[in-house]
Amino acid sequence: MASRSAPRFLNPISDEVTDDHAVYASSTDVVALTAPVAAFLEFCDHERIRPVLLTGPGVRLTAACATMLTDIRGFWAVHGPDGVLEAATGRPVTSFADLWLPHEAAPPGVVHDGVVSITLDAYVRHRADNATRIGVVAELAAGALGVALPHRWGVWEPFGRRWDTDAMTAFLRAQMPQTGPVHAVGEETTFLTQRVGRTRRGLLEHLRFSARPASGEDLHGQATALLARLEEAADVEIAVVTTRTSEADGTVRPGGYPATAPLAAVLGPRVTHHLGIDTAALAERHRVSSLGRARTPSTLIDFGGTDNPWHRLLDLGLALEPDRVLSTLGVEVPDAG
C-alpha cells in the first residue's frame, strides 16, 4: 500500500506553469476533453491564468475541447518543424506571451471550408421540482433542426453514457445549486454542453446545442423557426443562434474557418417585460417581431439582411444593458472592485 507524502514536482496536470499562463502539451492526434485536459482547463480558470494548449501541427480538437478552451479564453499553439505557431493563423510565436500580447494583424492563413452547423445558445427556466428533466430542451432543438438526438453524454471524453435525460438530470441534481458542464455528442457535428444553476426564480439551464441541420438552405429561416419553437415549448429567457464551422465530425484543426455569424435571437416574455423592450424602437435598427402571447410577448430578432451581423448583435446587447439582462435572469452581478 502506498503512503502519502509531500510531492516533488511542479504541477501534475500542466507541463509549464508561470504567474500568467500554463501549458498543456498533448501527444495525441485528436485532443479531446479528457479528464486531464479538463483538469488543466479548470485549473487555469480557477487560478485565472491563461491556458495554452500545445499540440502537433496535424492535430484536431474535439468540439468539447475546442468549446471549453474558447469559453475560458484559452490559446492553441502548434509545434511543428517551423517552430511554434498560433494555431488559428499560422503566425509564428517566439514566446507564448506572443499569443495574447498586442501584435500586428496576421496575414490570412489557411481557411478551411468546413461544414456549417447551427448553434443554439439558450438560457431556459425550469421549475425546481422532481418533474423537471434536463435534456428535453436539447431534444426540442434536435427535433426543430431535423437532426438525430445526441446519443452519448458525459463530463469527460470519451463520453460513454447513453443519452438518458433521467440519468443526466439525476447527475446534475446531485451537483446543485450550481453544476459543472456536461456534454453530449451525436452524429456528424451534433454536440451540446449544458449547465444548470438554482436562482431565486427556479432553475436556469444554459444549453449550447450545435448540429448540422438536415438542410443547409436558409439558415436564417431555420434559426428563427428553431427559436419560435423554443419560445413556444419552453420557458426561454434569452437564446441566440449562430453559425459554427468545423470539420464534418465536429472537430477543428489548425487554420481558420469562416467567421461565426449570429443568425437570430429571442428574448423571452419575462426578459421582454422586465427590460421594457420597445419593439418599435428596436425595429428601427433590427428586424424585430413579437411572438407568443399577445399580453406577454417575446421578442424575436433576425440578424439576416445585414452586412455585419455582429455589429447588430453588439448594438442590441448594449441597447439592452448587460447588467440589466443578468439581473433579469436572476444572476448575481458582483460589484466592480
Kindly list the residues in this chain that would bind other proteins in the complex (CB under 8 A): 1-9, 12-13, 15, 24-30, 32, 34-36, 39, 62-64, 152, 154-162, 185, 191, 249-251
Strand ranges inside 67-126, DSSP E: 75-80, 83-86, 115-126
Question: Taking the complex as a whole, how short is the minimal distance between the CB of residue 68 and other proteins, in angstroms?
Answer: 13
The smaller minimum CB distance to other proteins, of residues 133 and 161, is found at 161
Question: Taking the complex as a whole, how short is the minimal distance between the CB of residue 43 and other proteins, in angstroms?
Answer: 9
Residue 247 CB: number of other CB atoms within 10 A? 18
The smaller minimum CB distance to other proteins, of residues 29 and 323, is found at 29
The smaller minimum CB distance to other proteins, of residues 1 and 105, is found at 1
Question: Taking the complex as a whole, how short is the minimal distance between the CB of residue 30 and other proteins, in angstroms?
Answer: 5
The smaller minimum CB distance to other proteins, of residues 63 and 325, is found at 63
The angle subtended at Cα 335 by Cα 329 and Cα 337, nearest 5°, is 150
Grid cell listed for 208: 449550447
The smaller minimum CB distance to other proteins, of residues 118 and 329, is found at 118
Question: Taking the complex as a whole, how short is the minimal distance between the CB of residue 74 and other proteins, in angstroms?
Answer: 16
**60 with 107: CB under 8 angstroms?**
no
Q: For residues 269 and 13, give the distance between their C-alpha atoms in angstroms, rounded to a whole number.
A: 45
**145 with 216: CB under 8 angstroms?**
no
Strands 75-80 and 83-86: antiparallel
Amino acid at 157: E
Angle between helix 322-329 and 309-320 (nearest 10): 70
Residue 180 burial by Cβ neighbours in a 10 Å radius (0-12, 13-18, 19+): exposed
Grid cell listed for 40: 488543466
Question: Taking the complex as a whole, how short is the minimal distance between the CB of residue 269 and other proteins, in angstroms?
Answer: 36
Question: Taking the complex as a whole, how short is the minimal distance between the CB of residue 200 and other proteins, in angstroms?
Answer: 29
The smaller minimum CB distance to other proteins, of residues 189 and 298, is found at 189
Give me the DSSP letters along 268-309. Answer: -HHHHHHTT--HHHHHTTSEEEEEE-SSSEEEEEE-TT-S-H
The smaller minimum CB distance to other proteins, of residues 112 and 161, is found at 161
Question: Taking the complex as a whole, how short is the minimal distance between the CB of residue 256 and other proteins, in angstroms?
Answer: 20
Grid cell listed for 71: 469559453
